[in-house]
């Protein structure tokens, strides 16, 4: 079984401190973090490539797909599947190699 390349992690105002140990490790080991400016500020891990969400939304999907093969974390606000972009990302990016949000 191959290791998933894409992780979608919900982050709150408490930043990395509010993440589970597993989610925090995924952020710390990521090669690329995609998120809004606020998300990047909440997860200050400067050792990785950071990509701001492009606009329109469909451009973000293309940006995510272009990172396949790297350890990618997409940071979203709160619960990734409850009123968030996490579900849309998972529907748009191949389920092969993507992992449900943490």
pLDDT in tens, the chain (102 residues): 567 899 999 999 999 999 999 999 999 999 999 998 888 888 886 678 999 988 787 788 889 999 999 999 999 887 777 666 777 787 787 655 555 554
In a domain, 97, yes or no: no
Contact status, residue 91 vs residue 57, Cβ threshold 8 Å: no
pTM above the 0.85 mark? no
Q: Is residue 27 part of a domain?
A: yes
**Residue ranges making up the domain that contains 64:** 6-92
Predicted local distance difference test score (pLDDT) of residue 95: 52
- At 77 the pLDDT is 83
Q: What is the pLDDT of residue 91?
A: 78
Q: What is the CATH number of the domain that holds 35?
A: 3.40.1010.10
* CA distance to 37, 60, 67, per residue, from 64 (Å): 16, 6, 5
**Radius of gyration of the chain measured on its C-alpha atoms:** 12
Within 10 angstroms of residue 100's Cβ, the number of other Cβ atoms is 13
Tell me, yes or no, whether 1 lies in a domain. no
Count of domains for the chain = 1
In a domain, 85, yes or no: yes
DSSP β-ladder status, 49-52 and 32-35: parallel
């Amino acid at each position: 079984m191959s290791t998933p390349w894409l992780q979608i992690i919900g982050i709150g105002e408490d930043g990395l401190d509010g993440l589970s140990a597993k989610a925090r490790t995924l952020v710390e080991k990521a090669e690329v973090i995609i998120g809004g400016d606020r998300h990047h500020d909440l997860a200050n891990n400067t050792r990785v490539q950071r990509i701001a969400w492009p606009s329109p939304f469909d451009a973000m999907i293309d940006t995510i797909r272009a990172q396949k093969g790297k350890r990618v974390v997409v940071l979203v606000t709160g619960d990734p599947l409850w009123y968030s972009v996490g579900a849309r990302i998972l529907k748009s990016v191949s389920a092969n190699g993507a992992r449900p949000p943490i």
